[in-house]
Chains A and B, each alone.
Chain A
Amino acid sequence: MTAALSLHEATVRRGDVEVLRGASLTVQAREVVGVVGPNGAGKTTLLRAALGLARLSAGRADLAGRDVASLDDARRADLAGYLPQERRVGWNLPAWRIASLGAARKPPALAQAAALKALDRVGLSGLAGRGVLDLSGGERARVLLARLLVTGAPLLVADEPAAGLDPDAQLLSLELFREEAARGAAVVLTLHDLGLAARTCDRLVVVSAGAIVADGAPRDALTSAVLREVFGLEGALEETAAGLTLAARRARS
């Protein structure tokens, strides 16, 4: 089966610095892959490289088996939807209108119907008519998540979708990504909460200093050694009633 996303030895330079070094990664449909790593490790660059938003200085990025650099705007949008970390919204449009922008190329009535449905899924159906700048930061983040859901793309890529959300909304948003995977989508997320990542993702990709240092099932990827060397944490993933959680403290250096 053709991978929804694949990076092969991808390198991205910013000035003289290689912010992504020879990264290789494959993501299949129905898979939820978490990208974790400390601040500045290159997680966002990895996502942007895979989507063709960051230019590769070496290597290759494919979406559904086709070189992303060769795809036109419309074809790329058919293959992948993206939720950037940046949540600034320029104008105070109603929440439903923002969500409907996920289907910018569909007839307005269809886009609106899809938007209302997605707002319902993120638990904001009561706020559909509200100006997005009149919402709280967490509510706005959920409107933007709704916009991503509206794309209905076979690959959903989200940068820090759980940041700034209350615990319930964090779990809800990850549940939604699991639902998307169940309908057949490939999902790639960056997450800072390692416990949450381990609990909800099928696979974790650990990025450190621009390189992928581990890739596998959560327990295989987040070993005690990786926790110590990459995150500076002393501890381990533990199985609890709620699923995997991280029990760790800062390593003394």
Chain B
Amino acid sequence: MKLNLLLVAALLVLLALGLLLGETALSAAQYAQAFGDPASGPGEILWAIRAPRVVAAAVVGAALGLAGAVMQGLLRNPLADPGVLGVSAGAGLGASLAIALGLAAIPGGTEAAALAAALATGLLLTALAARFREPETLILFGVALSAFAGALTSLIFNLSPSPVTTAEILSWLMGSVANRSWSDIGWELAPMTLGAVLCVYAARGLVMLTLGEETAAMSGLPMGRLRAAAVAGASLLTGAAVAMAGIIGFVGLAAPHLVRAGAGADPAKALAPSALAGALLLTAADIAARMIPTDQELKLGVVTALFGAPLFALIAWRAARSWRV
């Protein structure tokens, strides 16, 4: 609980920073004007450009952190991340296809395609998880699904007649929360909320899976339903996150590890802090993406990978003890 409060406080600070910092430097008077009159120029920058961007980063980060914690619990594998079962790759494929077919011209077209593809992948995974219970088997299916979706995405690149389309797809896949509007966020909140509810429902099943499939099966908990809820919930969260921001690595992998020292090893107790830590990480990464002075703004997915990979190595080094099998 204390850990959650600490994370909430840190997140609030970062959200405020994200609102105040940006490419366009504003003076104190302009900030005053923005707070007094949201319709003014500085008000537009703050409330229509920066605020939705900051909130989008936090929401996507929370979804990825929560999905990562659920995947690690379900698969009893500290290396699992939200994309481990192929949902991210599936969503990426959906978005790529939509862009290649020109659906990106329709507002929300790419996002809807990404979410639809993620849901299809999630449904397939839920069916597979009901039939194959060993985590190793599920991970192998995930690897196959990821590889296949990746191959199809490459095929789109391969067959794409115009380099512009290719560049557009690549840019989308690299991940960003720039230029997100309140309505973009609104659309993805519904699947994310549903996903979060399913994950919370599945939490007691995740704890039981610590002891393996057979003990869990004999525990009296409705493991079939709990397992399906975990897979479906994590898929919804991941799919909606990818639909909103493209493919963003490492947040879902690192967030649960970051909080495990404070939250303990209990996979159920790691859920809320992982979501908060994910929000924290991605909000910070997005501020970094904006503030690092480059000719072309860094893509969020690039920043999380650049900072996330070494950070993750460090966490893994320190946490190795807690997840020794």
Contact = CB atoms under 8 A, between A and B. Distances in A.
A73 B222 contact: yes
B295 interface: no
B265 A131 contact: yes
A72 B323 CA distance: 33
Contacts of B321: 92
Interface string A94-107: 10011001001100
Kindly name the residue among A53, A73, A97 whose own CB sees the greatest number of chain B CB atoms within 10 A: A73
A101 B211 contact: yes
Contacts of A48: 214
B215 interface: yes
Interface stretch (B55-63, B98-106, B201-209, B272-280): B201-209
B214 A89 contact: no
Contacts of A94: 264
Contact of A53 (B218, B221, B322): B218
A131 B323 CA distance: 11
A80 interface: yes
B218 A90 contact: no
Contacts of A93: 207, 210, 264-266
B212 A101 contact: no
Interface string A74-96: 10111011111010111111100
Contacts of A147: 211, 215
A74 B220 contact: yes
Q: How many residues of B sit at the interface, in one of the four size bands?
A: 20 to 34
A104 B210 CA distance: 13
Contacts of B323: 91-92
A82 B218 CA distance: 7
B208 A101 contact: yes
A147 B207 CA distance: 14
B210 A82 contact: no
Contacts of A105: 220-221
A97 B220 contact: no
A144 interface: yes
A7 interface: no
Nearest to A159: B214
A84 B212 contact: yes
A51 interface: yes
B208 A104 contact: yes
Contacts of B264: 93-94
A144 B218 CA distance: 14
Contacts, number: 87
A104 B215 contact: no
A92 B218 CA distance: 21
Given A101-B207, A131-B265, A147-B211, A77 B325 contact: no
A165 interface: no
B211 A89 contact: yes
Contacts of B325: 88, 90, 133
B281 interface: no
B209 A104 contact: no
A86 B210 contact: no
Contact of B204 (A89, A104, A131): A104
A80 B218 contact: yes
A90 B210 contact: yes
Contact of B220 (A78, A83, A86, A98): A78
Given A93-B264, A93-B266, A97-B266, A53 B214 contact: yes
Nearest to B215: A84
A48 to B, nearest CB: 8
A4 to B, nearest CB: 15
Interface in A114-138: 131, 133
Interface in B277-325: 321-325
B218 A81 contact: yes
A208 B181 CA distance: 69
Sorted from nearest, which 10 A-B pairs have the closest CB atoms?
A: A77-B220, A90-B76, A91-B265, A82-B218, A90-B210, A92-B265, A84-B214, A74-B220, A104-B219, A91-B210
6 contacts: A73-B223, A86-B214, A90-B267, A93-B264, A101-B215, A104-B221
